């Protein structure tokens, strides 16, 4: 197999990447978490029961809660009153000892599952606020955390609030699911047995911002349809890969802003096997097998657009590798430094592999090594990773 070396120089470029049908990289270490997911769990809190009062939004499964005499409905007019039917905010803090646990700021729920159960009984857009701390608070939930439409699950920041869970997500295992119309922000998410986050298809697309989907056994994120990622989204150090858009998935993978990271995954930083198209506004894809792998059936008229990507030190054949006639627009990207032994004959500037056909002369903004090095041609890769 011939090998050629090159680097992409900052500037505008619209390129047709003509692909080879090599097998996808597959190093799945555990469940991917694919499949639609629905999970919710209510919670209840028992305090010394002198009288029984109705509190339909307190997170209990039957709409009632045992409360002390001083917290009876006649007295519950202070900050520890039950959530009203018009409430738009629910609070969670595992450190709180306040009783009863109504989900208001003064008397928060101890678990995220309880907070989401209470939010499900409210109308309109509801924000579930989850407290964080330094060092980070870890919420070890007993089932997958399901964020439905019209709910924003908001943590205290990825460095301060962690969700650790292993629950059923369709046919797989994950820590968190986010449905269309839902949003997750301000968390680190990890699953020791599956994928960190699974997003389900629909409009508007699920949103993940200021989220670190890192350190899971399988993927950081499995996108079953369109998804909005960022600003400040990270999928790093996962067992199978950073972001996975499987063969059955479609829609738009939109990486928003420039402070995003898809680094140091055992598989690819971003992997697209289906008909999804990628709009990447900025970030890194370093130290993976491949930085970004585009291997699906690209929708007619759609173009992958990658801007301000830095992809260095990846172990496979390129910072960006595209198959099957993908159309790709690159702007202001730095793609250098392959580390794989199989490609050690190339200088550390190999950046892109296009299989099955020579690159067209319109690649005016790509420099291939020295003037004596030709462009990548068909024999250079007949079976891709």
Residue 194, classified by CB atoms within 10 Å of its CB into exposed (0-12), middle (13-18) or buried (19+), is buried
Q: Which residue has the higher pLDDT, 331 or 48?
A: 331
Taking residue 177's Cβ as centre, other Cβ atoms within 10 Å add up to 30
pLDDT at site 51: 35
pLDDT for the residue 295: 86
Please give the pLDDT value at position 78: 53
Angle at CA of residue 50, ends 46 and 51, nearest 5°: 90
For residues 165-192, average pLDDT: 97
pLDDT digits (tens, 9 = 90+) for 360-383: 433 323 333 333 333 333 333 333
Mean pLDDT of 65-82: 47
**Bridge partners, 190 (sequence order):** 164
**Contacts (Cβ under 8 Å, ≥6 apart) of 372:** none
- pTM of the prediction? 0.73
Q: For a pLDDT cut of 70, what percent of the chain falls above it?
A: 66
Q: What is the largest CA-CA distance in the chain?
A: 88
> For the stretch 51-76, what's the b/e string if a residue is b when 16 or more beta carbons lie within 10 angstroms of its beta carbon?
eebebebbbbeeeebbbeeebeeeeb
* Close Cβ partners of 148 (under 8 Å, ≥ 6 residues apart): 40, 116, 120, 179, 181, 182
Domains in the chain (CATH in brackets) are: 24-49+85-345 (2.160.20.10)
């Amino acid at each position: 197999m011939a090998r050629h070396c090159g680097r992409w120089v900052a500037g505008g470029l619209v390129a047709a990447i003509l692909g080879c049908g090599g097998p996808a990289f597959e190093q799945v270490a555990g469940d991917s978490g694919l499949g639609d997911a629905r999970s919710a769990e209510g919670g209840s809190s028992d305090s010394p029961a002198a009288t029984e009062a109705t509190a339909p939004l307190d997170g209990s499964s039957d709409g009632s809660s045992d409360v002390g005499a001083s917290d009876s409905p006649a007295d519950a007019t202070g900050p520890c009153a039950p959530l009203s039917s018009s409430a738009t905010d629910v609070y969670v803090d595992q450190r709180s000892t306040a009783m009863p646990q109504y989900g208001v700021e003064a008397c928060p729920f101890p678990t995220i599952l309880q907070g989401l159960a209470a939010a499900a009984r409210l109308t309109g857009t509801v924000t579930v606020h989850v407290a964080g701390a330094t060092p980070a608070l870890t919420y070890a939930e007993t089932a997958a955390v399901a964020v439905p439409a019209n709910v924003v699950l908001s943590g205290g920041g990825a460095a301060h609030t962690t969700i650790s869970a292993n629950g059923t997500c369709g046919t797989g295992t994950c820590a968190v699911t986010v449905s269309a119309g839902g949003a997750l922000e301000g968390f680190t998410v990890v699953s020791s047995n599956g994928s960190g986050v699974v997003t389900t298809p629909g409009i508007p697309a699920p949103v993940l911002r200021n989220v670190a989907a890192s350190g899971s056994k399988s993927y950081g994120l499995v996108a079953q349809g369109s998804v909005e990622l960022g600003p400040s989204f990270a999928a790093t150090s996962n067992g199978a890969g950073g972001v996975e858009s499987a063969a059955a998935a479609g829609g738009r993978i939109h990486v928003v802003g420039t402070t995003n990271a898809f680094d140091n995954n055992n598989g690819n930083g971003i992997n697209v096997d289906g008909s999804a198209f990628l709009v990447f506004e900025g970030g890194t894809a370093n130290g993976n097998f491949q930085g970004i792998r585009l291997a699906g059936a690209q929708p007619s008229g759609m173009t992958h657009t990658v801007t301000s990507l830095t992809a260095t030190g990846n172990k496979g054949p390129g910072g960006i590798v595209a198959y099957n006639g993908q159309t790709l627009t690159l702007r202001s990207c730095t793609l250098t430094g392959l580390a794989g032994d199989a490609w050690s004959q190339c200088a550390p500037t190999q950046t892109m592999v296009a299989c099955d056909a020579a690159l067209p002369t319109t690649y005016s903004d790509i420099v291939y090594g020295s003037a004596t090095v030709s462009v990548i041609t068909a024999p250079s890769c007949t079976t891709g990773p």
